[in-house]
Structure 1
């Protein structure tokens, strides 16, 4: 049997339902004018969502029950729809707060004329607020789940685009269309390949995307074969990131991007082999890239200039020769750098020339010896140049 209190509450809710279309229309106008993301939605869309939400919350509050499985699915679906429409989650949550606050305010006004006792009204309003909390949680869950799927789809598309762009698998028209879709508007881009050291590729990808030069309109990053690759505009800032090894190709126009990326790969491979963290270009590493690219020549030169020296004293001679070449072939500076007397340096250089039957003052000979020493350095590091990273192309 229905009590007077229940009858009064039912009358109140009937009055509220009759007013709901007008309330929803007012909400639609307010949302479209005040909340980011709603201005592009149709009034009918917003009104329908408000009416459905109010009706559902009233049912849950009146029966003092949690949402059913179908109601939960509907709330999550609402969150997914708003994510698809590009409405920020903050705006979605704010719209619900506005609507429920106004509905509860109107319930209070109607309660006086409907003679609803205050204790009954309080119980109903508390149940309404609890239902709203549950609804907002489900909407947020649906929104974030959809947002994650959309983000993942975008990541996949981005990775596929970068892979095709760097592999030369796109026509100029296709490349321009995709770059426009990703918001890339610069006339020229440098390319890069970053080799993670003590972190995951996904972590590095996220960190680089925080750099202005690596996000649209100045750049784009992607994960490729365990490395982080992309387009960038170096004028917007460095790509230096802790111990990260980054090879950078020259800034080029669209039709030369694949060639630039090949260079970036060579630079990254060289820097990795020589244990040189940081951002590097082909010009900065110079002939080191050639040393890694031509192991046969390095092996031949090492056999000619390094292998004949085998004793500990002769190893010291090689170290002195290396320091001598690095100091502009200046014996005095070499002595200072090595903390030995300059006569010691001269004696070691003379001994090297005797053992190898060459003259270091000959520029051609000096360059060959430098090459041999760099190849030997790689072997000492345990990275044979016969196993240059395949990712460098």
Structure 2
């Protein structure tokens, strides 16, 4: 046994350039090609028998469809051999089209791979029979076998790539449908009968209550970040979120309001049925606009804003009140900003001078002095309810960037 020669690994034989074959070998290739052409129906029947026995995933295809695809592959092979070309490139192109059509029909990926291997085996068996008849050179026949099985392995990767591309395309299509549905519901333009029909497609109950959210995103990357933040906050997969661009606002439908969205402003509307969710989205947009003007972040609903939305209304009225009460304050020189800031903080602290002093890092008497100056310059007595409301409204309006041009007619 020590003298036995180790077995060498078989050498892989590649298909030669058929045009370089000698005249005798080329003639035999042509004869084999014509003989195979006459057996294309035989090949189709053999292939049908094999896949019906071994590939249950092909049940969605009729017998004639299976025979037709087998004959199609045979025709491509024969056309290339007749032109003295190796058929790899031609088969790759057809294989991609074939895989896309079969996957779309519901044929599983593993069934495609097995079916192609069975087809290759039957093709080679038929070729062996013909090769014996026409005395095809053995070296060429072995090269055909090696190349066929090599390509059969490559076919599996082609099938996988096609399936991946189709999955991406389907995901994109699903995302567009979800976005269109969300935009229609939030925009209040989805007909009631269609809403009742389509809600179940997206996992929604037309009789249940849902929450409309509103957010802003300057770029596509920002929109994706907001989508993931909301999805995480409401514990839903990001790709299942019903979200859409509605005008300049990013709108979303969720079963509940998120608890927290750190560093991002997300406005929340009331819980409403789907057919009224457009009203809820309108409220969420109002909240978003108001909270954004006041520099708020996190999850904000209308109850969190207090009377702040009123601050942004009534531009003409505000101009008159601002001119009447704030002109003297604006003309008070360098101290006017300190007086205004102190009055603002004093109101935010519910008129508690010690707390306002702590926030401003001054003595409580300083707070009291500045508040008295504010009342003297503006003519607004903070002990009177109407004056207190007017002072709060004017001071908060002046904090909002778009209304910061004091004394300017708006």
TM-score where L is the length of structure 2: 0.71
Between 1:320-329 and 1:224-233, the stretch displaced more is 224-233
Aligned pair in 2 of structure 1 residues 362, 233: CA closer, same or farther (>3 Å)? same
Cα distance in 2 for partners of 1:264, 1:170 equals 19
The CA deviation at 1:148 is 5.6
Structure 1 residue runs of 5 or longer lacking an equivalent are 33-38, 387-393
Aligned pair in 2 of structure 1 residues 77, 100: CA closer, same or farther (>3 Å)? closer
The CA deviation at 1:231 is 1.2
Cα distance in 2 for partners of 1:149, 1:218 equals 16
- CA deviation vs aligned residue, 1:192-211 (integer Å, no higher than 9, x gap): 22211465465357636855
Cα distance in 2 for partners of 1:338, 1:271 equals 24
User: Given the alignment, which residue of 28, 47, 66 partners 1:20?
Assistant: 47
Asked if residue 51 in structure 1 is aligned to residue 70 in structure 2, the reply is yes
- CA deviation vs aligned residue, 1:228-259 (integer Å, no higher than 9, x gap): 21211226x5572x644322211101231121
Equivalent pairs counted in the alignment come to: 370
Cα distance in 1 for partners of 2:265, 2:390 equals 27
Asked if residue 348 in structure 1 is aligned to residue 370 in structure 2, the reply is yes
User: Given the alignment, which residue of 89, 92, 114 partners 1:98?
Assistant: 114
Pairwise mapping of residues 218-297 of structure 1 onto structure 2 (< 5 A)? 220-234=242-256, 237-238=258-259, 240=261, 243-297=263-317
Between 1:58-67 and 1:220-229, the stretch displaced more is 58-67
Structure 1 residue aligned with 2:18: none
Root mean square deviation, CA, Å:
4.4
Structure 2 residue aligned with 1:196: 217
- CA deviation vs aligned residue, 1:340-360 (integer Å, no higher than 9, x gap): 111111111121122223332
User: Given the alignment, which residue of 347, 354, 365 partners 2:387?
Assistant: 365
The CA deviation at 1:107 is 7.6
| 8 Å Cα contact 2:212-2:277 kept in structure 1 | yes
- CA deviation vs aligned residue, 1:24-45 (integer Å, no higher than 9, x gap): 213431x37xxxxxx8x34648
- CA deviation vs aligned residue, 1:307-343 (integer Å, no higher than 9, x gap): 4312221210111111111122211111111111111
Cα distance in 2 for partners of 1:61, 1:371 equals 84
Aligned pair in 2 of structure 1 residues 112, 47: CA closer, same or farther (>3 Å)? closer
| 8 Å Cα contact 2:266-2:299 kept in structure 1 | yes
- CA deviation vs aligned residue, 1:259-290 (integer Å, no higher than 9, x gap): 11110111111122223233321111232222
Structure 2 residue runs of 5 or longer lacking an equivalent are 1-23
The CA deviation at 1:189 is 0.9
| 8 Å Cα contact 2:77-2:87 kept in structure 1 | no
Cα distance in 1 for partners of 2:228, 2:395 equals 37
The CA deviation at 1:23 is 1.5
- CA deviation vs aligned residue, 1:89-138 (integer Å, no higher than 9, x gap): xx42x333333445566788899998899855652244224544665666
